[in-house]
A = this chain, B = another copy of it.
Amino acid sequence: MQLSRLVKFHKALGDETRIRIISLLKEGPLHGQAIAGKLGLTAPTISHHIAKLREIDIIFQRREKNTIYFYLNEKKLTFMAEAILRLGTDEMKLAQVEDEEKYKVIKNFIQADGSLKTIPAQRKKRLIILEHMVKQLDIGKKYTEREINEHIKKFHEDFATIRREFVMCQFMFRQGGEYELNPKEMWPIN
């Protein structure tokens, strides 16, 4: 089972040693052995914890000679810490969006009523928006073309273009006039 990013984030912070590391790094970058010294733990233990903090993307590092300095990514920390507060608040269903990059794009292109301002020209952004629209459809359900059109119209008038993009980008496939979601592994995103 793939843990959601939000759970992983909090699991990572749910450890005294890691909170202390964060607390230390707030004052500035440090290298592994310095952290180990300050916390009275061994270097491998610190490595282990740094790896967990890196996984949730709140740590980055720079090498200086033999020594690697660890930095706290405070922006990301803030974003993730507040994610739980956005859970389910309908602020245009941004709830499910756990990724900062996607969050920004959706924030820019989706208006307060949920509709699409314009179709993003950049492929990367377009994919994010297509995924956003497609995510509200049910897995395994077969849709008629008319149903797909209606769904898309909630976002944008040019349903034909977007419907074709759904298929071309592998979000959906078409079989005998009906449309269905592809498994997520086939999506050109994530």
Interface positions of A (Cβ within 8 A of B): 1, 3-4, 6-16, 19, 22-23, 26-27, 37-40, 77-78, 81-82, 84-85, 87-89, 95-96, 138-141, 181
Q: Are A37 and B138 in contact (CB under 8 A)?
A: yes
Closest B residue, CB atoms, query A84: B81
Q: Which residues of chain B are within 8 angstroms of A82 by Cβ–Cβ distance?
A: 81-82
Report how many copies the assembly holds. Answer: 2
Minimum distance in angstroms from A133 CB to a CB of chain B: 17
Contact partner, A14, options B12, B38, B87, Cβ 8 Å: B12
Q: Are B88 and A23 in contact (CB under 8 A)?
A: yes
Given A8-B14, A10-B14, A11-B14, 17 more A-B residue pairs with CB atoms under 8 Å apart are: A6-B19, A7-B15, A10-B10, A10-B12, A10-B13, A13-B84, A19-B84, A19-B87, A22-B87, A23-B88, A26-B89, A37-B138, A37-B140, A77-B84, A78-B85, A81-B81, A82-B82
